[in-house]
Amino acid sequence: MSIQGYFDYNATTPVCSEAINAFVNAAKAFANPSSKYALVKPVGAFLSEARESLCKLVGCATDELFFTSGGTESNNWALKGVFLREFTAAPGESAHIIISALEHSSILEVVRYLERTFHCEVSRLNPDNEGIISAESVLAALRPNTRVVSIMLANNEVGSIQPICDISRVLRDRNIHFHVDGVQAVGKIKVDAHMLGMDTLSFSGHKFYGPKGCGGLYIRRGVTLEPLIHGGGQERGYRGGTEAVAMIVSMGAAAKLASEQLDENLQRFAQYSDLLRKQLTQKVPTVVFNGPKNLSMQVPNTLSICIPGIRAEALAAILDNLNGIQVSLGSACSNNKTMSLSHVLLSMGLTDEEVKSTLRVSVGLYTQEEDIKFFTDAVANAVSILNRISKPVSEDHVLTT
Ligand SMILES: Cc1ncc(COP(=O)(O)O)c(C=O)c1O
């Protein structure tokens, strides 16, 4: 894969060499972690080291972190786990859930399932036009039977960072479970679960240069969730299944690197974001940037760009086929089965036309400064091609004989 053209780090990240080496090394230590003989010792040490690296990245204690198969499982576990606990404790009671309209499908679909199965009431809060959910809007939506609030930390399409600390404060002492989808934040911005104050926080290894199919859930000490996967008592009895040792160790290596490089990366990506904005504005003056105006409220690797009158699908196809550049469509549904308009952008109040003209650009560890110029030149060229194609024939075509 050419890294130069890769501008879709929010979809997934390349696995870093540290994570690959750690995977190979750990895969050789093949003993089952649940076995009792001495051969298991190095495996146990590998797992402990990985857990510690992840706890450092997330800001929690080792007994608060549980390994899963990724962000989707962690989000499923947090929401279903609370519901299973609540319904066992008080069957028949009607319950109310609050989520943001910005959430990823691994939250939206779970909530739809809970709505269908347990007939719970759901409030879906729209963000403001910069993609931010205020603590006040959460407070205003609370009902006496609110059991769960789920708000993501950083949005995957526009990069808006939610005021999780303020929302935690609003929910404190109300006996409401507060889940936070941290998949697009952990490894990219500073995350301290204890300071942020949520009950559960999900993360995924492949968003910070670890392997796909591996992630975790922080569960605050004192909070109980019903297990989603029952089995052989692994993860202190909360998540059955033989540990994916090599994957976890690989994710641990990526987490260690992410912790070490966090400040440096934040600074570098902010610089790239600034360059991208400046160069795009200069080369394509009609460009509009969706998302927070206050850039401290946006993950600096993410940019949502709208070029009015230009179909993002066509633009992305030209970038891919002419320049080998990969970006995401703001308008494509994440499951790729149905091409529906982005629910995130619509919830922020963009029109259908604006949504259809929006691209998501995300940079990462292997983006170089010169790639920004390559990218913005390619966008300007593609826009001029599309503008020429869409002009009426009489304006653009002079027949030569
Ligand atoms: C915000 C968010 N939550 C959850 C997920 C799902 O994570 P995973 O791919 O590890 O299942 C993603 C993946 O794109 C995401 O962006």
Cβ-based burial of 53 (10 A; exposed 0-12, middle 13-18, buried ≥19): buried
What CA–CA distance (Å, rounded) separates 191 from 250?
A: 20
Closest alpha carbon to 300 in 317, 283, 275:
275
Indicate which residue's Cα is closest to atom 8 of ligand 1. 71
The predicted pLDDT at position 94 comes to 83
Quote the ligand 1 centre to 207 CA distance (angstroms).
8
The predicted pLDDT at position 93 comes to 74
Quote the ligand 1 centre to 70 CA distance (angstroms).
8
Whether residue 177 has its Cβ less than 6 Å from ligand 1 = no
Strand order through the sheet with 358-362: 288-290, 302-306, 358-362, 328-329
Quote the ligand 1 centre to 18 CA distance (angstroms).
22
Which CATH entry fits the domain spanning 263-389: 3.90.1150.10, 3.40.50.1820, 3.40.50.2000, 3.90.226.10? 3.90.1150.10
Whether residue 179 has its Cβ less than 6 Å from ligand 1 = no
Tens of pLDDT along the chain (401 residues)? 558 899 999 999 999 999 999 999 999 999 999 999 999 999 999 999 999 999 999 999 999 999 999 999 999 999 999 988 877 666 677 899 999 999 999 999 999 999 998 889 999 999 999 999 999 999 999 999 999 999 999 999 999 999 999 999 999 999 999 999 999 999 999 999 999 999 999 999 999 999 999 999 999 999 999 999 999 999 999 999 999 999 999 999 999 999 999 999 999 999 999 999 999 999 999 999 999 999 999 999 999 999 999 999 999 999 999 999 999 986 444 445 556 899 999 999 999 999 999 999 999 999 999 999 999 999 999 999 999 987 655 544 444 44
Calculate the CA 286 to chain-centre distance.
Answer: 28
Q: In this structure, are residues 304 and 155 in contact, taking their beta carbons and an 8 Å threshold?
A: no
Indicate which residue's Cα is closest to atom 16 of ligand 1. 156
Whether residue 215 has its Cβ less than 6 Å from ligand 1 = yes
Name the residue of 104, 191, 212, 334 to mutate for ligand 1: max ligand atoms within 8 A of Cβ.
104
Check 60, 120, 214, 333 and give the catalytic one: 333
Whether residue 72 has its Cβ less than 6 Å from ligand 1 = yes
Name the 3-class secondary structure at 147. strand
Strand boundaries in 237-336, DSSP class E? 288-290, 302-306, 328-329
Closest alpha carbon to 253 in 216, 211, 204:
211
Domain-wise residue ranges, the chain: 17-256, 263-389
Name the residue of 99, 100, 207 to mutate for ligand 1: max ligand atoms within 8 A of Cβ.
207
Name the residue of 204, 212, 343, 360 to mutate for ligand 1: max ligand atoms within 8 A of Cβ.
204
The predicted pLDDT at position 394 comes to 53
Strands 177-181, 146-150: parallel, antiparallel or unpaired by DSSP?
parallel
Residue whose structure tokens are 């299973």: 84
Active site (annotated) includes residue 333: yes
What CA–CA distance (Å, rounded) separates 260 from 380?
A: 36
What CA–CA distance (Å, rounded) separates 223 from 160?
A: 28
Q: pTM for this structure?
A: 0.95
The predicted pLDDT at position 333 comes to 47
Closest atom of ligand 1 relative to the 213 alpha carbon? 10
Q: In this structure, are residues 156 and 342 in contact, taking their beta carbons and an 8 Å threshold?
A: no
Residue whose structure tokens are 């993860």: 235
The predicted pLDDT at position 4 comes to 86
The predicted pLDDT at position 401 comes to 44
Q: What CATH number belongs to 17-256?
A: 3.40.640.10
* Same CATH fold assignment for domains 17-256 and 263-389: no
Whether residue 273 has its Cβ less than 6 Å from ligand 1 = no
Whether residue 150 has its Cβ less than 6 Å from ligand 1 = no
Q: In this structure, are residues 164 and 197 in contact, taking their beta carbons and an 8 Å threshold?
A: yes
The predicted pLDDT at position 397 comes to 44
Residue whose structure tokens are 């024939």: 393
Closest atom of ligand 1 relative to the 155 alpha carbon? 1
DSSP state of 161: B
Whether residue 204 has its Cβ less than 6 Å from ligand 1 = yes
Closest atom of ligand 1 relative to the 181 alpha carbon? 3
Closest alpha carbon to 360 in 285, 301, 282:
301
